[in-house]
Amino acid sequence: MPTRNAEARWEGSLSDGKGTMRSATGAIDGAYSFSSRFEDGSGTNPEELLAAAHAGCYSMALANELGKEGHVPDSVETTAKVHLEKDDDGFSIPKIELVTTATVPGIEDDAFQQIAEATSKACPVSKVLAGAEITLEATLSGG
């Protein structure tokens, strides 16, 4: 299996500095700053990229698990909400909320919920983020 790479560069102090993050393929290339990470400033941030990675991984993994059960989805759409919080020990990511909606012909909601829940713990990004509470809200769309 391939190893994926990304790089980041930061210049200056935490509050006044600036940086860039870029994936090896160039598909992701963006500026980030204190403002884009801890406030509502423009640019990206590590948590946003983590959310994109988790949403993408979960959507693919759910499609795979549904397919294994004979229910190939028409679509799976997932949003990941990464919570960055500060406490006495510094910053942490205590929670990630996955919200997914899937259009899956011929599956009952109970079966869908079981597969969706199992997948939320089994996708590779969920596994690496197991230190955070990862919640899931799954909706089966009527099509």
Q: Give the rounded distance of the alpha carbon of 137 from its chain centre.
A: 14
pLDDT at 73: 98
One digit per residue, the tens of pLDDT, for the chain of length 143 reads 899 999 999 999 999 999 999 999 999 999 999 999 999 999 999 999 999 999 999 999 999 999 999 999 999 999 999 999 998 999 989 999 999 999 999 999 999 999 999 999 999 999 988 887 888 999 999 86
> Is residue 99 within 8 Å of 116, Cβ to Cβ?
no
pLDDT at 129: 87
pLDDT at 9: 95
pLDDT at 134: 86
**Ramachandran class of 26: left when φ > 0, alpha when ψ lies in -120 to 50, beta otherwise:** left
pLDDT at 131: 81
> Is residue 119 within 8 Å of 104, Cβ to Cβ?
no
Cα(21)–Cα(99) distance, rounded to whole angstroms? Answer: 26
